[in-house]
Amino acid sequence: MSKNRRRVVVTGMGAITPLGLDLVSYWDGLVSGRSGAAPITRFDASDYDTRFACEVKNFNPLDFIDRKMINRMDLFTQFGVSASDMAIKDAGWSLDAMDRTRIGVVYGSGIGGMSTYQKQQETLYETGGPHRISPFFVPMLISDICAGYISMRHGLKGPNYATTSACATSSNAIIDAVMLIERGLADAIVAGGAEAVVCPMGVGGFNAMKALSTRNDDPTHASRPFDLKRDGFVMGEGGATLILEDLEYAMSRGARIYAELSGFGMSADAYHITAPAPGGEGAVRSMKMAVEDAHLNPQDIHYINVHGTSTLPGDISETNAIKVAFGDSAYKVAISSTKSMTGHLLGAAGAVEAIASVLAIHYQTAPPTINYEFPDPACDLDYIPNVARPMKIDAALSNGFGFGGHNASLVFTRFEA
């Protein structure tokens, strides 16, 4: 990291995931190798090719949000607002004593309020025409509204906007937050993402693309990144938030620091709307840029939380990209896909996996890739099969790649003053 730019650290985190409703239960689910997949409960999926997902379970928005506001929020916003409340509390912020014009929010969603759109469309065509559409339809739908609610809820008047780059969405939100802090445009940023598209249009749409696993008779073993018998990803949902602060700002208030965000990389495949570029060329550049930005060498990275979606071409492409980006170190670095447990949280994936990477450093333990039973000869790296691994982790890389050819990589390191 350049000596003339501000250092950025992680001081708080919050997560609403298919494995649990807080950091403790999320991490416990990861290290115990627990799958969040189960039959879909949000709608009758009996006619769908895929009838299971990694839904968030036992979430009660009233634990965070009053009833009047709940009725004005899509589920993705409820997830994001709740995760952000947790993260702000975890960071120990005393907002009344802080300059809130210097605190911003960058919070993304890959799709936004899809279930709200579907429900209001049903209202339009089935129960009374355009005059029955809710006046809150548009504010509930738009993907930036979660960032808006977070800022209004806590009076945060710094930079405020959303990112949308498919499955790289919340990785890009984190990167934007870092750049804002480095440039001195904010002292702290609430960053992350939320997604909630386990609904008829969401599942039906991804089924139409042949992107989802159809292992309906065995949902908990359906997400199996790098396994020879993988047949597609498992849809997940939830929200995840990181509190990022300028190091001097954090230290001035005596903050607890989880890790430093030391580098990032971004690139475009410029190749295909859904398929990765040949050889993972775009991912290679993203990872190389992140490691170089952190002023590290490939051998300095101890753990990679890969994008690892459990799709046939995607896992091979990422494996090949790691081999090119890391050279001889590719076979020495520990790798896992936590999507094997959480499913794919789409626009929230980058943030929920960034948290997993930070906690891996914090607890010096790498989560596993579960359901790894039949090695794929084309995927021949160390994927930490099935059981978490206590190990030295001073630096972790987190990858997020999205439809449209969006690539984003983050490097977190153990904090040293």
Residue 16 pLDDT exceeds 70: yes
Q: What pLDDT, in 10s, does the model give residues 184-227?
A: 999 999 999 999 999 999 999 999 999 999 999 999 999 999 99
Q: What is the pTM of this model?
A: 0.97
CA–CA separation, 241 and 314 (whole Å)? 26
Count other Cβ atoms within 10 Å, centred on residue 343: 33
Residue 4 pLDDT exceeds 80: no
Q: Which residues are marked as active site? A: 167, 307, 344
Residue 2 pLDDT exceeds 60: no
CB 371 within 8 A of CB 224: yes
Count other Cβ atoms within 10 Å, centred on residue 178: 24
pLDDT at 1: 45
- Alpha-carbon dihedral 311, 305, 190, 239, rounded to 10 degrees: 40
Q: What pLDDT, in 10s, does the model give residues 285-322?
A: 999 999 999 999 999 999 999 999 999 999 999 999 99
Query: Which of 54-63, 129-138, 168-177, 347-356 shows the lowest mean pLDDT across its residues?
Result: 129-138
CA–CA separation, 367 and 389 (whole Å)? 7
Encoded tokens for 369: 């890739």
24-41 in b/e burial notation, b at 16+ Cβ within 10 A?
eebbebbbebbbbbeebe
Provide, rounded to the nearest whole percent, the portion of the chain with pLDDT above 70. Answer: 99
Question: Which residues, 6 or more positions from 34, have their beta carbon under 8 angstroms from its beta carbon?
Answer: 19, 341
Three-class secondary structure of residue 70 per DSSP: helix
Calculate mean pLDDT across residues 381-399. Answer: 98
CA–CA separation, 56 and 64 (whole Å)? 15
Residue 254 pLDDT exceeds 60: yes
Query: Which DSSP category does 352 fall into?
Result: H
Question: Which residues, 6 or more positions from 298, have their beta carbon under 8 angstroms from its beta carbon?
Answer: 291, 325, 326, 327, 329, 330, 333
Calculate mean pLDDT across residues 121-125. Answer: 91
Q: Indicate the average pLDDT of the chain.
A: 97
Q: SS in 3 state form for 6-45? A: CCEEEEEEEEEECCECCHHHHHHHHHCCCCCCEECCCCCC
Provide, rounded to the nearest whole percent, the portion of the chain with pLDDT above 90. Answer: 97
Calculate mean pLDDT across residues 7-33. Answer: 98
CA–CA separation, 324 and 47 (whole Å)? 43
- Alpha-carbon dihedral 358, 361, 365, 369, rounded to 10 degrees: 40
CA–CA separation, 54 and 24 (whole Å)? 18
Calculate mean pLDDT across residues 140-167. Answer: 98
Confidence of residue 128 (pLDDT cuts 50, 70, 90): confident
CA–CA separation, 89 and 93 (whole Å)? 6
Q: What pLDDT, in 10s, does the model give residues 242-252?
A: 999 999 999 99
Residue 134 pLDDT exceeds 60: yes
Q: What pLDDT, in 10s, does the model give residues 346-368?
A: 999 999 999 999 999 999 999 99
